[in-house]
Amino acid sequence: MSAYILCSSPLAEHPYKIQETGLLIYSAEELSYYIYNNFYLIDESFVNEELFSFLEAELELAESAGHLRRLRGERAGLGTLLLAILREFHYYSEAELKEFQLKYDAYRRQGASSRKAQKADFLLEHGHYLSAIQIYRQFDHVRKDTSLPKDFYMKIKQHMAVCYIHLGLLQEAMEAYLAAYQELPSAELLKQIYQFSCMSDIQLPSELYRAIKPELESAWRGEYEEISAQGGLLATTGPTAAMFTKDSVRRREALKKHIENIKRDYRRAIS
């Protein structure tokens, strides 16, 4: 876990693995913390027999596991099951549980597409870029929901581009940015695409470049160069410094190494 958690229950010898993030759970308190702070990531498949077996075999909580089994057998909703788990292990106060229920109920009142996008955004914010991309891509295969905000699908592509940038996949990032612009053109998005083009050395399509007024290009270029200079100073030390070099060969090698490290971490997470 990313924070220190006071645990009074037994610790598992063999932890429970959260498949979506690769996180390892060693105690009832850690399970409670995960549910309370990550409910955007949890669907009906989370409360399953594997989780009950973990509670029984690793944490010696057979009575709690039995109670949760009975609830699931009675077809209790996911919100009821999650709240039951939180109450079972007494890690949060009643006031905190009421706050959790209010936030969870508000989340569930949203449409399925909004919840899915929020889940992907949550993964993006917490550095799980590959998992986020997998969800963003699902929107390519469904009919668009016209009841959603007009910038909804633009943001899906825009956020996908951000994931690709973090993974060092610059060509894929540019493609996602261009798809976002097709969904909903705007000056702000065009500025992002232009500045990303400067950073990545990927040329803009001619029709898009012609849409940029000379005075805007001058201002955007100046802003980019200022930000780039600051970033260059920050990147002169550390393992990713070569990713910011103007030497294209060294930059490619550094990006390749960065991607290999990400893939290695991902393989470890899913193994």
Q: What are 24-46's pLDDT values in tens digits? A: 999 999 999 999 999 988 988 89
Lowest-confidence range among 24-38, 132-146, 228-242?
Answer: 228-242
- What is the tens place of the pLDDT at every residue in 5-24? 444 567 889 999 988 778 89
* Separation of alpha carbons 86 and 241, rounded Å: 44
Mean pLDDT over each residue of the chain, to the nearest integer: 85
The predicted pLDDT at position 236 comes to 42
* Separation of alpha carbons 260 and 251, rounded Å: 14
The predicted pLDDT at position 261 comes to 57
* Separation of alpha carbons 200 and 209, rounded Å: 15
Overall average pLDDT of the 184-207 stretch: 93
Picking from 139, 127, 237, 229, the residue whose alpha carbon sits closest to that of residue 179 is 139
- What is the tens place of the pLDDT at every residue in 44-73? 889 999 999 999 999 999 999 999 999 999
270 vs 259 pLDDT, higher one:
259
C-alpha pair distances (Å), 173 with each of 41, 159, 200, 249, 269: 24, 9, 10, 20, 24
Q: Are 201 and 248 in contact (CB under 8 A)?
A: yes
pLDDT at 257 over 90: no
* Separation of alpha carbons 20 and 179, rounded Å: 27
The domain locations on the chain are 16-109, 112-234
Phi, psi dihedrals of residue 16, rounded to the nearest 5°: -90, 130
Phi, psi dihedrals of residue 203, rounded to the nearest 5°: -70, 140
Phi, psi dihedrals of residue 48, rounded to the nearest 5°: -135, 180
CATH topology of domain 112-234: 1.25.40
Kindly indicate the confidence band of residue 194, based on its pLDDT and cuts at 50, 70 and 90: very high
